[in-house]
A and B are shown apart, each in its own frame.
Chain A
Amino acid sequence: MVEVEQLTKKYGEVTAIKDVSFRVERGDILGFLGPNGAGKTTTMRILTCFMAPTSGTARVGGYDIFKDSLEVRRLIGYLPEGVPLYRDMAVRKYLLYCAALRGVPRRGREDRVDEVMAKTHVDEFADKIIGKLSKGQRQRVGLAQAIVHDPPVLILDEPTASLDPAQTREARELIRTLGKDHTIILSTHILAEVSMVCNRVIIIDGGEVKAVDTPDNLSRQIRQSDVIQLRFKRAPSDAAQQLRKLKGVQRVQQQDGAFMVETSLDADLREELAAFAVNKGWGLLELRRMELSLEDAFIEITSGHVERIVAASSEARQEGGTD
């Protein structure tokens, strides 16, 4: 349904995305995972024909984003980041306008808007001015406008950002429902969201695609280590090296004067580490097991560990077994 081939976008000297390629099949819910500034929004803006890439191409439903830009835009429903809406319009009027602009025939337009409002639960404030709505309500209006012309492809840029937990759950539920008859590309920096909603994930960082897999496979790759944070009063200069030599330690990093000791999953080294530090007389100030939520794990991925994980993932695939 969506084919992206070697998209590159440069803003002057800065490369926003580099050689991004992927495919989305009909019915897929693809999660676009990456930290802010990774190039998610840029990719989406190119796919929605808002911007042109520096090089590369993409097709939506077989139409080229350059040559048949209008056709592509007819196929797409888009929710941009931050949900920009006309704040001085009432919800129903706004949706009617969107429907008209995107070619929903006049006959049946009202019905279609009513239907969409019911689906996204915005009907309870249909006649309120958008500027007076809460963030969550606005987000729902944003989703409503994206689906009002019943496009086969939905592109949602951070659809659950700035929602409270209840609203987030609701939004995810809605997206999952929409996924039954739409092809969806959504971006997020919340890994958990991806595993709850998507059936395929692309991890993008620094403008490059780092991994493409199912959420299950990826999170298994990501959660392969525990991290314990240590702080010492008198750490010698080679403390990191000494720590690395300990059994079970995979990796040691220094961060703001603390040592992040990475150990294999479920090998609880806290006792050993404490004993070691006390023996050496380093003056142990703090020892803390980092609760590696999926989000943190993901942040780790995108801050340098990713190559390792991608390598492990491809190894696993080559072996045709699990890790």
Chain B
Amino acid sequence: MAVRQQSVPVAERTTSQVQRASRAGLAGLGASLQTIGIIALKELRTYFTSWMAYALIAVYLFIAGFIYWVVVGRMSHSLPLSPFFAELAIILMFIVPLLTMRLLAEEKSTGTVELLLTSPVTDWQVVLGKFFGVFGVHTVLVLLTAHFPIMLFKWGNVDKGIIWSSYLSLWLTGGIFLSIGLWASSLTDSQVVSGFLAFGVLLMLWLVNIFGFTMQNAFGEFCRHVSVLSHLEDMTSGVIDTKDLVYCVSVIGFFLFWAKQVLESRKWK
């Protein structure tokens, strides 16, 4: 399967902007990234010092293993692995709200947000730090499923390109889900509400995708266009399109921006 890569002038432009910015204040940028890193690392540690991360990983791997067994066992000849990755994405949908619900809601309900935001950090650094922290957990989660394709590499005959692009897709889908979860967590000081909200939005995304599949009318067409998941299905079939990557990053950016706005709104209330 071909891995399609488009050359996009936007990407070049971004690079030159970054270069200019870095020349303007490399030290500032470094310090800023460092702050994001400090927050992200703290979040990551928090997940792994409680039982939360381990429990979720255990459940995730168990279900993933089960699906793998079903998918690979049932269709053993020249299988497309895309159903496997699609199922993994759906499990993520259930797990992500559990991961993200505490991110900001907990800080708000315990009041620790006050200490965080009165430290010399910007609201962006807080949001990005939180995001990358939980994204780290998700990355661990994705990496831990690596033994499934490795088994296939060893004993099966699979297109490695598809596997790689499917992983990229799973990784980025998780990113989108997490950004939605983080946004939901910024809206409330109740973890339960934030978890439900995130889950509701993710469920809507999924439904929109299903409508897009099943309805052949204009509404179906519309759903296909706005669907987050359909962009990612291309990838699980082995096509990495820069358009899809830009789309993913934009959606993540959109929800993170929104979360940052919500966080900032304390100042104009």
Main secondary structure on chain B at its contact with chain A? Answer: helix
Asked if B118 and A11 make an inter-chain contact with CB atoms under 8 angstroms apart, the answer reads no
Among the listed stretches B34-42, B155-163, B171-179, B195-203, which one makes contact with chain A, having 4 or more residues with CB under 8 Å of it?
Answer: B34-42
A176 interface contact, C-beta 8 A: no
Return the CB mask of A61-91 against B: 1 if under 8 Å, else 0.
0000000001101101010101011111100
Q: Assuming A52-B267, A80-B111, A82-B111, is B119 touching A88 (CB within 8 A)? A: no
B6 interface contact, C-beta 8 A: no
Chain A residues with CB under 8 A of B31: 103
Interface residues of A in 82-112 (CB under 8 A from B): 82, 84-89, 93, 97-98, 100-103
Asked if A88 and B46 make an inter-chain contact with CB atoms under 8 angstroms apart, the answer reads yes
Interface residues of A in 211-259 (CB under 8 A from B): none
Number of A-B contacts (CB under 8 A): 64
Chain A residues with CB under 8 A of B114: 45, 48, 50, 78, 80, 84
Q: Number of B interface residues, CB 8 Å? A: 26
Asked if A102 and B119 make an inter-chain contact with CB atoms under 8 angstroms apart, the answer reads yes
Asked if B110 and A87 make an inter-chain contact with CB atoms under 8 angstroms apart, the answer reads yes
B115 interface contact, C-beta 8 A: yes
A84 → B minimal CB distance (Å): 3
Interface size, A (range): 20 to 34
Asked if A50 and B46 make an inter-chain contact with CB atoms under 8 angstroms apart, the answer reads no
Bound-state CA distance A314–B106 (Å) is 48
Asked if B267 and A73 make an inter-chain contact with CB atoms under 8 angstroms apart, the answer reads no
Asked if B120 and A103 make an inter-chain contact with CB atoms under 8 angstroms apart, the answer reads yes
In this complex, what residue of A is CB-closest to B37? A100
Chain A residues with CB under 8 A of B122: 70
Which B residues lie at the A interface, using CB under 8 A? 31, 35, 38-39, 42, 45-46, 49-50, 110-122, 266-269
Which A residues lie at the B interface, using CB under 8 A? 11, 45, 48-52, 70-71, 73-74, 76, 78, 80, 82, 84-89, 93, 97-98, 100-103, 145
